Amino acid sequence: MPKKGDGQITQKLLDNILENSGASQPSSFFPLFSSSNLNMRSPVCWSWTAALLFFVFLGQVWCECPTENMGIEGGHYKLTREQQPGSMLIYYCPEGYYPYPALTRTCHQNGAWKPAPKRFVPQRCRVVECPDPNVLEYGTVSPPQERYFVDNETAYECDSGYTQRGSARRVCLPNGKWSGSTPICSRDTGDHCADPGIPAGAMRTGNIFGIGDKVTYNCNSNLFLMGTSERTCQENRQWTGFEPACYYKHTYDTPLEVSQAFGSAIKESLTTLESINDVQGERRIRISKNGTLNIYIAVDISESIEKEHVANAKDAISKLITKISSFSVSPNYELLFFSSELSEVVSILDFFDGQEVNMKEKLEKFTVKAEHTGTDLNLAFKTILERMALIKQRVGEKTFEQHRHAIIVFTDGVYNMGGSPLPTVAKIKNLVYMNHTSEEPGVQPREEYLDIYIFGIGAEIYESDLKPLTAGTGGNHFFKMKDITNLQETFDEIIDEEEVVGMCGLHKEYETAEKDSTRKMYPWMASIVVQNEQTTKNCLGSLVSPQFVLTAAHCFTFGDLPENIVVEIDDGNGRSKRVKTFKLHPKYNINAKAKEGVKEFYDYDVALIQLEEDVQISSAVRPICVPCTQETSGALGLVGDSTCKQQEEELLKTHLEKLNFLTKKNASGAGKGSPR
């Protein structure tokens, strides 16, 4: 079979075919290519018509790839385009197993699968293996084994005179990682920085931990490094970068791990920006109350990405947009879908033109119509670079300096068109960093203004090509995802809430494993206890500012004094808050219509409590939005000074609105925490 691009046919081959077919009888050509005359182990070529065209145009005969003996022991496979050239054969295994020796195969035009099946190495589902933990210095790992597989448990013990840090016991997880944290045995005497340890499967060079001393990491065979390969001990006793890890090809990140890497441990700093040199802090997409955030999202829809992954990516993007829309900021979005060509679903320039853009509606309407066999990852980055340059031209250099940019790309890293995107990423960095450089190698003063997150999706991810494309300070920006269907929590943690904790109405819409999870779902809730000599009354209220709580007037009776009232809000500075004063609505009168037969009249049933001290605003303690205020206008995303009528129209868009009732039971964790 002539190979692609030969462009010539030897005379001998032509003579043989003409001799067998008969030059004057084209119909006798057909038996030569009949499937009945072909060995089933060979590629099944297209019809004799395709072969005839081959000779006419000196082109390539396209052949179907065989499926015989392509199965996998213990699993199954799917074909993206049947047996046609360009189709991918993707292997699937149960949880705790992975396909070996190949994760995928691609059908080439000559009818062969690449990589080709190995004759003496059958395709099967292997038990997931975790990196070798026997790299612990000054300690022992038990049980000692050559290899460790899913559910294997290990215990760690330090030699006499050494202090143990990290996990004492670890379990090999189905995603190819060890549970817990890296065990470390160290003396930590005389060293400026603590021993950074050696992750499972890694080798470390450097055992002196003074200021300026460096340690470097490499992974053992069949593993690749994720994280910082070289770390430096700083004057603040912290190591630069973040702890590396060694991954197998089958290792992946769970949504929870991605969420933690984005920065689940939120520091509740209201006004102080994280220092870009604070390496222990994790950085996410930053939102400032009056800042400008440009978000560029690019999704790979080429043949190597399954339609299910594209659908899940769309769902994750929709969740991200929903989450960001709850903040008192309005980011500008660029939304791209790319393969060999590019579909610009949303242009960021429309936001700068003042056009009304319904992101979620456009996202939902977008469908992948044509077959896309090529991938031009560089085209996506070039488009983003062009949009950035146009934004800078429109707003001016001074204003552009204050813009923060976040690029989020979903891809497997396979590209066969457009060349490497690395030079384009370098231009993007140069544009955002504004040619500012630091005397210290690898450090850019404006790094905090650009984050590039890469989500590796697909059956086979090319980590070595994708990792260099990331950018940003703090935690990991590259993630290998096996399943991206549950990314609501992940994208919840992408947002850096430190600069917006004082905004009203912010809350989490789901429960997590955190102790104060329910509190974060209802962060404005306050418990009110009114205690007199004879009675004790319990009420609920809502925090409307750091010093004021809104509640019901019927909670109080004549003769109640501020010293009889305690407001309970757990802000980390003591649960019970003393009351300075309280005021009932002047028109409140429960007996106002008693003569008309209305025993209890609850119009104007509101009261305002002023606390002696402000509560500490955090992700678990936030004010609720009060209508007809500028804070509510910002939370609703209304531009400028809005009116009460505009806010009402925005809040009550439909004829019927869902009404939620909150009780102390369902907000204290006794129930599921769902409003009812």
Q: Under a CB-based contact definition with an 8 Å cutoff, are residues 230 and 213 in contact?
A: no
Specify the higher pLDDT residue, 331 or 485: 331
* pLDDT score, position 55: 42
| pLDDT band at residue 218 using 50, 70 and 90 as cut-offs | very high
Q: How far apart are the first and last CA of the chain?
A: 70
Q: Under a CB-based contact definition with an 8 Å cutoff, are residues 445 and 436 in contact?
A: yes
Is it the case that residue 337 has pLDDT exceeding 70?
A: yes
By C-alpha distance, which of 130, 77, 81 is closest to 102?
A: 77
Q: Is 290 left (phi over 0), alpha (psi -120 to 50) or beta?
A: alpha
* 129-247 CATH pick, 3.30.450.40, 3.40.50.300, 2.10.70.10, 3.40.190.10: 2.10.70.10
Is it the case that residue 249 has pLDDT exceeding 80?
A: yes
CATH number attached to the domain at 517-667: 2.40.10.120
Q: Which amino acid is at 79?
A: L
Q: Which amino acid is at 96?
A: G
3-state DSSP assignment of residue 498: helix
Q: Under a CB-based contact definition with an 8 Å cutoff, are residues 199 and 244 in contact?
A: yes
Tell me the mean pLDDT in the region 343-351. 90
Query: pLDDT tens digits, residue range 68-81?
Result: 888 899 999 988 87
* Structure tokens that stand for 83 in this block: 């047996």
DSSP per residue, 418-471? S--SHHHHHHHHHHHHTT---SSTT--TTGGGEEEEEEE-SSS--HHHHGGG-B
* pLDDT score, position 542: 92
Q: Under a CB-based contact definition with an 8 Å cutoff, are residues 544 and 623 in contact?
A: yes
**In what order do the strands lie in the sheet containing 292-300?**
342-346, 332-338, 292-300, 403-411, 450-456, 478-480
Give span(s): CATH 2.10.70.10, the chain.
Answer: 76-127, 129-247
Is it the case that residue 145 has pLDDT exceeding 90?
A: yes
3-state DSSP assignment of residue 506: coil
Tell me the mean pLDDT in the region 60-66. 72
Rounded Cα gap, residues 182 and 478, in angstroms: 20
By C-alpha distance, which of 233, 217, 237, 236 is closest to 225?
A: 217
Q: Under a CB-based contact definition with an 8 Å cutoff, are residues 321 and 359 in contact?
A: yes
Structure-derived torsion over alpha carbons of residues 556, 562, 563, 564, reported in degrees to the nearest 10: 0
Is it the case that residue 158 has pLDDT exceeding 80?
A: yes
By C-alpha distance, which of 89, 93, 134, 138 is closest to 115?
A: 89
Query: pLDDT tens digits, residue range 272-306?
Result: 222 233 322 344 555 555 568 888 999 888 776 66
Q: How would you write 41-82 as a 3-class SS string?
A: CCCEECCHHHHHHHHHHCCCCCEECCCCCCCCECCEEEECEC
| pLDDT band at residue 40 using 50, 70 and 90 as cut-offs | very low
Is it the case that residue 555 has pLDDT exceeding 70?
A: yes
Is it the case that residue 308 has pLDDT exceeding 50?
A: yes
Rounded Cα gap, residues 51 and 652, in angstroms: 67
Q: Which amino acid is at 554?
A: H
Please work out, in degrees rounded to the nearest 5, the angle formed at the alpha carbon of residue 522 by the alpha carbons of 521 and 526. Answer: 155
Q: Which amino acid is at 185?
A: C
Lowest mean pLDDT among 270-279, 510-519, 663-672: 270-279
Query: pLDDT tens digits, residue range 159-204?
Result: 998 989 889 999 999 999 999 889 999 886 778 888 999 999 999 9
Q: Under a CB-based contact definition with an 8 Å cutoff, are residues 259 and 479 in contact?
A: no
Is it the case that residue 382 has pLDDT exceeding 90?
A: yes
Q: Under a CB-based contact definition with an 8 Å cutoff, are residues 461 and 409 in contact?
A: no
CATH number attached to the domain at 76-127: 2.10.70.10
Lowest mean pLDDT among 302-316, 419-433, 515-529: 302-316
Q: Which residues pair with 216 in a beta bridge?
A: 205, 230
Give span(s): CATH 3.40.50.410, the chain.
Answer: 255-499
* pLDDT score, position 324: 67
Residue 603's Cβ-side half-sphere holds a number of Cα atoms within 13 Å equal to: 5
Q: How far is CA 48 from CA 18, 28, 53, 57, 599, in A?
A: 13, 10, 9, 14, 94
- The superfamily CATH assigns to domain 255-499 is von Willebrand factor, type A domain (3.40.50.410)
Looking at every residue in the chain, the average pLDDT score rounds to 77
| pLDDT band at residue 88 using 50, 70 and 90 as cut-offs | confident
For 534, other C-beta atoms within 10 Å of its C-beta total: 5
Tell me the mean pLDDT in the region 437-442. 50
Residue 68: partners with Cβ closer than 8 Å, 6 or more residues away:
40, 41
Q: For the chain, what's the residue count?
A: 676
